[in-house]
Amino acid sequence: MARTKAALPPSAPPDARSPFAFESAMTELESVVTRLEQGDLPLDAALKTFERGIELSRLCQSALMDAEQTVEKLTLVPDGLSATEPFAAAGSDDDDSE
């Protein structure tokens, strides 16, 4: 019997370090959020959908943390410290250049 590959089955999440897996997980997570926001799912289906959303959220968070660690490793300076600086969002009150 041939097995078909389903998009991110809950029982076998893909490797979070794969860019394709991250993009697929984000797309599916957006779909999950949309279905839950519609509010027309029966309770049991809503709970299962919410659970899937949590799994996808954790997968994405893990992939982002891995990417951040990779960036940190790539930006180490000779003294072993990271040369990266915290990102300041536009319009942040932390700007001391006034």
pLDDT of residue 72: 84
Catalogue all structural domains in the chain, each as residue range(s) with its CATH number: 19-74 (1.10.287.1040)
CA quadruple 18, 24, 27, 31: dihedral positive or negative? negative
Give per-residue pLDDT as tens, 19-76: 678 999 999 999 999 999 999 999 999 999 999 999 999 999 999 999 888 888 888 7
pLDDT of residue 19: 66
pLDDT of residue 49: 97
Q: 83 pLDDT band (50/70/90 cuts)?
A: low
Closest of 14, 50, 5, 3 to residue 29, by C-alpha: 50
Higher pLDDT, 46 or 10: 46
Q: What is the pTM of this model?
A: 0.62
Query: For residue 49, with 0-12 CB atoms within 10 Å meaning exposed, 13-18 middle and 19 or more buried, which class applies?
Result: middle
Say which range, 9-13, 14-18, 42-46, 85-89, has the weakest mean pLDDT.
Answer: 9-13
pLDDT of residue 54: 97
